[in-house]
Amino acid sequence: MKHAVTRRHMLVALGGLLAGLASLAAARTARGAVKKVLVTTRAPRDYDPHQHKWLMCFDVDKCIGCGLCVDACKTENHVPAGPMYFRTWIERYIIKKPEPGSGKTRGDVLVDSPNGGRDGFPTTTVPREEILKAFFVPKLCNLCEASPCTQVCPVGATFDAPDGAVLVDPNYCIGCGFCIQACPYGCRFLNPETRVAEKCTLCYHRITRGLKPACVEICPTEARIFGDLKHPVENDPVQAFIQKHKVHTLKPHLGTEPRVLYANLDKEVR
């Protein structure tokens, strides 16, 4: 006969369960504490990333290419000067009319981003009558759901924060450049001073204190829309944007599931 389940057995099992749960909780707390000490994010101590899910949207039609966002970003985040270091930048697309009788919908596509668009854009040399359409596209980290940059980091220095930001711990990065190669959108660069990978953090030091990212704050046409999916405010701009527009993401075929949404995107934008 199998031995009966006695009260003694039950008490021992319950005790074991409680001890297990207690130590699990302690281990989780300890892990959290260690993470807080070891991971550098510039967020305030009381900020809980599990309570937020940040999102950035762009209305391409609203961007005027003034470059204030690029300048604000560089200033706010001490991004190295020079035309090859940007956390955000603006691209100008000039799509020429097709040659008459060519049977094409559009002609040559000229793209440029002088100094990331920081100083605005010089007048184009393409004559006005040859232009089919022209527009500006702001770019930054696409906040991928399946971020390839995080996947390939050999030491885990770059990570997906629970609030949707993709961050780099500058004190941990070994500067191998793998994440820069893996980002399909060209959003990362190797900081020449610190020799570690750098990218848009959504101004993590600002958003974790209730402020907007610098680029959003300064945009004069509200082409950049920023919000928290977990705490929508009244007349939430992000919700309104998603409702109003048909939105698109960049390079969706790569399976990176970008969370940055674009309205009025042209097929030429990559």
The token pair that represents 25 in the structure block:
């909780």
For the bound state, the minimum distance from the C-beta of residue 10 to another protein, rounded and expressed in Å, comes to 40
Nearer to another protein, 198 or 227 (CB): 198
Give yes or no for residue 151 binding another protein (CB under 8 A): yes
Closest CA to 224 of 111, 66, 60: 60
Give yes or no for residue 85 binding another protein (CB under 8 A): yes
Site for another protein in 166-205 (CB under 8 A): 172-178, 180-190, 194-196
Give yes or no for residue 243 binding another protein (CB under 8 A): no
Q: Which residue has the tokens 């001073």?
A: 193
Nearer to another protein, 15 or 255 (CB): 255
For the bound state, the minimum distance from the C-beta of residue 4 to another protein, rounded and expressed in Å, comes to 46
Q: Which DSSP letter does residue 232 get?
A: -
Tally of residues, the chain: 270
Q: Which residue has the tokens 């990218």?
A: 199
Site for another protein in 5-64 (CB under 8 A): none
Q: Which residues contact 130 (CB under 8 A, 6 or more apart)?
A: 96, 97, 107
Calpha distance 156→85 (Å, rounded):
23
For the bound state, the minimum distance from the C-beta of residue 77 to another protein, rounded and expressed in Å, comes to 14
- For residues 256 and 184, the answer to whether their CB atoms sit within 8 Å is yes
Stretch touching another protein by CB under 8 A, among 13-21, 46-54, 160-168, 252-260: 252-260
The CA-based angle 16-18-23, given to 5 degrees, is 95
Nearer to another protein, 244 or 270 (CB): 270
Site for another protein in 107-146 (CB under 8 A): 109-116, 119, 122-125, 139
Stretch touching another protein by CB under 8 A, among 97-105, 214-222, 232-240, 248-256: 248-256
Query: What DSSP letter does each residue of 147-203 carry, written as one string?
Result: -HHHHH-SS--EEE-TTS-EEE-TTT-----HHHHH-TT---EE-TTT-SEE---SS
For the bound state, the minimum distance from the C-beta of residue 178 to another protein, rounded and expressed in Å, comes to 5
228 Cα distance to chain centroid: 13
Stretch touching another protein by CB under 8 A, among 23-31, 47-55, 236-244, 251-259: 251-259
Q: Are strands 88-96 and 109-112 parallel, antiparallel or unpaired?
A: antiparallel
Nearer to another protein, 32 or 255 (CB): 255
SS3 13: helix
Give yes or no for residue 267 binding another protein (CB under 8 A): no
**Binding region for another protein (CB under 8 A):** 83-86, 89, 91, 109-116, 119, 122-125, 139, 148, 151-157, 172-178, 180-190, 194-196, 253-255, 270
